[in-house]
Structures are given as C-alpha cells and as structure tokens.
A and B are shown apart, each in its own frame.
Chain A
Amino acid sequence: EVQLVESGGGLLQPGRSLRLSCTPSGFTFGDYAMSWVRQAPGKGLEWVGIIRSNRYGGTTDYAASVKGRFTISRDDSKSIAYLQMNSLRTEDTAVYYCTRGSGGYYFPYFDYWGQGILVTVSS
C-alpha cells in the first residue's frame, strides 16, 4: 500500500525558515517525481513545486509565488523528499500535501497524497 507521511509543520513567525519532510512507503521512491501542493484555510489547491526522478534529471519547477524562497530536494538513498521554506510570509499559511507524481515530464498527475501538515505563519 502506498503511503506518504508529512512531518515538520508548525507555527512560526514571518521571515523564518522551516523544512517539511515526506516519508513514503509502498513503492520504489526513486522511480517517481514528488510534488508539494498546499491549501490555505478555506481555499482551493495551489501547486507549490515538483522534483522529478533521476530518469528526468531530478529537475525542479516551482510556482511563481514560492520561486526563490522554497526548494524541493530528494534523497533517494533514504527515500525521503523535502520542502525547504525560507523567508516565510503570512500568506504561506496552509496545509501542505506531499504527493507522488506520475505521468511523465510534462504530463504529471498526482496519484497519491499524504494526509497533509499544517504550517502557520503568524506574528
């Protein structure tokens, strides 16, 4: 059974940094892209970014709203994905979902989702 578990969320002040982790199980981690999606309270889904598998060079892409502040990385030897969030803003407050990406380089879809973890940015 495929499972994705996020960890590392919490409450922090604007301008601070936080790293989320995503620990998967039930599949060969290195074969898949991993992506982060967030949802602000009462709002819709917003894609944050993606890191592709080594098959596709391990390349990354980000939403404009987080580019330059957030970094997605992966450690295939430990089967774990990360979302490093720097210079956090109040508008980054959201539930962050770790997702598994399938479908290839330009046709991704997210076939498994974690349960989500809350990040609250407030002074």
Chain B
Amino acid sequence: QSVLTQPPSASGTPGQRVTISCSGSNSNIGSNTVTWYQQLPGTAPKLLMYRNDQRPSGVPDRFSGSKSGTSASLAISGLQSEDEADYYCAAWDDSLNGYVFGTGTKVTVL
C-alpha cells in the first residue's frame, strides 16, 4: 500500500484544465521534493515534473506542479488527447528511508 494518495481517476474535455492531487505526510512530501511521472499506455514511465515545479526539457508548459505542506498537485491546462495516461507522484520518505510512489491517477480525455 502506497503512502502517497492520489485520486484513481480524473477526466476532462479537450482544452479543459485538470488537476491531480497527491497527499502525503511530514516524512515524505513535507520534507522532500515531489516528482511526477507520466505513463502513456503500454510504455515506460517518463519524468514529467521534478523538484515540485520544474519541467524537464521537452515537457510542454501546459503541465505545472506545486507543493504545499504535505500535499502536491499537478495541473494540466489545455488538456489534449495525447495527455491520456497514468500519472504518478513520488517522493523520498525519511521514515521509510526509501522512495515512494503515489497510487496513480488515470487521466481520460472525454
């Protein structure tokens, strides 16, 4: 069982804004930076956001990240069909002395 909780699903129509939450605790999100990964169907995960709000080269600025206290969020503005994927948050956990992933959120473009 994951220590980072995400909603199982989120959806929107093309062009809409979708937000995914990631809830943790003081030992993970509260103490360390948050990373987001995108997994397109049938493919390996890809780094989407690191250090809470930093986009790797090549990631569109439609994606944005934020962190407050023990929670983090990923927002997708101007939703596109190619954004349909599973999204995972992650962080280092000081109590577990390990890296933890969120439960994952499946984003559907209606």
The answer to whether B88 touches A45, judged by C-beta atoms less than 8 angstroms apart, is yes
The answer to whether B96 touches A64, judged by C-beta atoms less than 8 angstroms apart, is yes
Partner-binding segment picked from A23-31, A70-78, A110-118: A110-118
Chain A CB within 10 Å, residue with most, of B32, B45, B88, B94: B45
Within the complex, the shortest CB–CB distance from A42 to chain B, in Å, comes to: 11
Is A119 interfacial (CB-CB < 8 Å)?
no
Number of interface residues of A (CB under 8 A): 25
The answer to whether B44 touches A108, judged by C-beta atoms less than 8 angstroms apart, is no
Chain B interface size, under 10 / 10 to 19 / 20 to 34 / 35 or more: 20 to 34
| Neighbour of B98 across the interface among A63, A107, A113, A115, CB < 8 A | A63
The answer to whether B44 touches A109, judged by C-beta atoms less than 8 angstroms apart, is no
The answer to whether B88 touches A108, judged by C-beta atoms less than 8 angstroms apart, is no
Those of B1-34 within 8 Å (CB) of chain A:
2, 32-33
The answer to whether A45 touches B45, judged by C-beta atoms less than 8 angstroms apart, is yes
The answer to whether A107 touches B33, judged by C-beta atoms less than 8 angstroms apart, is yes
| Neighbour of A44 across the interface among B97, B99, B101, CB < 8 A | B101
The answer to whether B56 touches A111, judged by C-beta atoms less than 8 angstroms apart, is yes
The answer to whether A46 touches B101, judged by C-beta atoms less than 8 angstroms apart, is yes
Those of A62-112 within 8 Å (CB) of chain B:
62-64, 97, 102-103, 106-112
Interface residues of A (CB under 8 A from B): 35, 37, 44-47, 50, 61-64, 97, 102-103, 106-116
| 7 residue pairs A–B, Cβ–Cβ below 8 Å | A44-B2, A62-B98, A107-B32, A109-B51, A110-B47, A114-B44, A115-B44
Nearest 5 pairs of A and B residues by beta carbon: A47-B99, A109-B35, A109-B50, A44-B104, A45-B101
